[in-house]
């Protein structure tokens, strides 16, 4: 089953629009604040449905929920590629949010169910790191395809349509998972869903360790989710700079030039992210446990955000790109540790719901941060300097969570 789990992650991340999502929206005539609102629509939808979808996954069936998720993705990608009006784009983002809501947390719970059945629960950090590394390898493998699509079509929109193919393939893969991975599947009547959801939510609110983990997810995961997209406009500015004429042929149109620079960069980021996820188990052991490893990663976020701030204020686009790419890579070391920490404190029959609560909190964070950061960037000026709010937010979060880590661990 580990191979099937890895295949799921590999296909899931064949999202050929990701390196060009912001550029595709800019190409439709949208501004950063408007794009931030679209992201907020997606994250708000996910946040609204996250806990109910987790409870449904635990009670109605996790495999069924995953199939529903990918059906929503397919419809979303078609809409985002075809639409040019904000209302239709927002509808596409709503469907995207539905897909995320019914997916996040659920597949992790399926992996943990299988590990428990096989008597391999002690390997959870390493196994999840392995499956996540295949997700990142999937992202890396998607880059040459996305580059080719943009190069051939000369259009950022075509990548949405091509992304439908692997989403359909993953839907079939999930539908053929063994039946026992549905989970307890006690029945999904409204009363049962509400009682299950309420029990998990109360646990997340009342237990200090769970509250801390939810807050950390809102900080780290929510920040990276919003910040990572600002890599695209900086890469575009560098790709179109006259000084790169010796590297990138000046005769190419804009999408082709951007693809030639963005493609290799994102490929490298995904390869390094895969290595980071695969090494999560080793890193946890080296640091002295998941908690100690997490504290070190908060320090890492603060340091990289300081470099981002320096690069923004000094106008050093290359340093900005490198520092933000490193933040993205670091998050893929962070994520397996976070899931493992959640599993240590959550009841086994509430894992999917608790992870959905975590994902909801992360989505809520993204919903709030995306339009605020987008507006701040628009008001901050022109050039690389306008991205200083992105850097400042990461610095505040890194310092704040690192400073409170030991105190909160003692209280837990």
Domain residue limits, the chain: 2-179+189-411
Answer for the pair 174, 167: CB distance below 8 angstroms, yes or no. Answer: no
**Count of beta carbons in the 10 Å neighbourhood of residue 178:** 12
Q: What is the pLDDT of residue 92?
A: 95
Q: What is the pLDDT of residue 112?
A: 81
Answer for the pair 333, 276: CB distance below 8 angstroms, yes or no. Answer: yes
List C-alpha distances in Å: 42 to 94, 184, 276.
Answer: 5, 29, 27
Q: What is the pLDDT of residue 299?
A: 92
Each residue's pLDDT tens digit, 202-217: 655 665 667 788 888 8
- Burial class (CB within 10 angstroms; exposed 0-12, middle 13-18, buried 19+) of 67: middle
Q: Which two tokens stand for residue 302?
A: 């603060």
Answer for the pair 312, 376: CB distance below 8 angstroms, yes or no. Answer: no
Each residue's pLDDT tens digit, 26-47: 888 888 888 888 988 988 888 7
Q: pLDDT by residue for the chain (412 residues), tens digit each?
A: 888 888 898 999 899 998 888 888 988 888 888 888 898 898 888 877 866 776 677 667 778 888 889 999 999 999 999 988 889 999 999 999 989 888 876 787 788 888 888 888 777 777 877 887 788 788 888 888 998 898 888 888 999 999 999 999 999 998 888 887 776 655 555 565 566 556 655 655 665 667 788 888 888 888 898 888 888 888 887 777 655 544 555 556 677 778 887 888 888 888 888 788 878 888 888 988 888 888 999 999 999 999 999 998 888 888 999 999 999 999 988 888 888 887 777 666 566 667 767 776 777 788 788 888 888 888 877 777 788 999 999 999 999 888 887 665 555 4
Check: pTM over 0.95? Answer yes or no.
Answer: no
Left if phi > 0, otherwise alpha if psi is -120 to 50, otherwise beta: which for 189? beta
Q: What is the pLDDT of residue 246?
A: 45
Answer for the pair 124, 340: CB distance below 8 angstroms, yes or no. Answer: yes
Q: Which two tokens stand for residue 398?
A: 């890194």
Per-chain mean pLDDT for the chain: 81
Instruction: Measure the CA–CA gap between 267 and 350, rounded to whole angstroms.
Output: 36
Each residue's pLDDT tens digit, 232-269: 888 887 777 655 544 555 556 677 778 887 888 888 88
Above pLDDT 90, what percent of the chain?
20
Fold of 2-179+189-411: Growth Hormone; Chain: A; (1.20.1250)
For residue 340, give the DSSP letter. Answer: H
């Amino acid at each position: 089953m580990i191979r099937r789990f890895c295949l799921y992650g590999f296909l899931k991340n064949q999202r050929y629009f990701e390196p060009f999502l912001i550029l595709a929206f800019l190409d439709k005539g949208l501004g950063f604040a408007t794009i931030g609102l679209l992201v907020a629509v997606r994250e708000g939808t996910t946040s609204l449905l996250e806990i109910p979808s987790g409870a449904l996954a635990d009670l109605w069936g996790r495999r069924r929920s995953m199939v529903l998720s990918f059906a929503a993705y397919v419809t979303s990608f078609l809409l985002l590629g075809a639409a040019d009006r904000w209302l239709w784009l927002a509808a596409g983002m709503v469907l995207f949010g539905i897909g995320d809501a019914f997916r996040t947390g659920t597949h992790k719970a399926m992996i943990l169910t299988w590990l428990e059945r096989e008597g391999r629960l002690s390997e959870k950090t390493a196994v999840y790191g392995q499956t996540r590394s295949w997700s990142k390898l999937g992202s890396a493998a998607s880059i040459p395809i996305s580059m080719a699509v943009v190069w051939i079509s000369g259009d950022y929109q075509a990548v949405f349509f091509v992304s439908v193919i692997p989403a359909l393939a993953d839907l079939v893969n999930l539908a053929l998972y063994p039946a026992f991975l549905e989970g307890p599947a006690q029945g999904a009547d409204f009363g049962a869903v509400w009682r299950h959801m309420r029990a998990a939510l109360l646990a997340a609110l009342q237990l200090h360790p769970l509250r801390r983990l939810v807050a950390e997810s809102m900080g780290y995961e929510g920040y990276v989710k919003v910040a990572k997209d600002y890599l695209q406009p900086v890469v575009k500015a560098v790709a179109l700079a006259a000084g790169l004429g010796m590297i990138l042929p000046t005769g190419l149109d804009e999408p082709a030039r951007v693809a030639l620079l963005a493609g290799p960069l994102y490929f490298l980021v995904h390869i390094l992210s895969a290595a980071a996820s695969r090494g999560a188990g080793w890193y946890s052991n080296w640091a002295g446990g998941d908690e100690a490893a997490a504290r070190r990663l908060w320090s890492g976020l603060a340091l990289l955000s300081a470099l981002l701030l320096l690069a923004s204020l000094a106008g050093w686009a290359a340093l900005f790109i490198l520092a933000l790419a490193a933040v993205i890579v670091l998050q893929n070391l962070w994520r397996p540790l976070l899931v493992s920490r959640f599993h240590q404190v959550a009841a086994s029959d509430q894992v999917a719901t608790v992870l959905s609560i975590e994902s909801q909190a992360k989505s809520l964070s993204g919903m709030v941060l995306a339009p605020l950061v987008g507006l701040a960037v628009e008001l901050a000026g022109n050039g690389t300097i306008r991205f200083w709010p992105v850097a400042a937010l990461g610095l505040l979060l890194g310092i704040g969570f690192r400073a409170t880590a030991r105190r909160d661990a003692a209280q837990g």
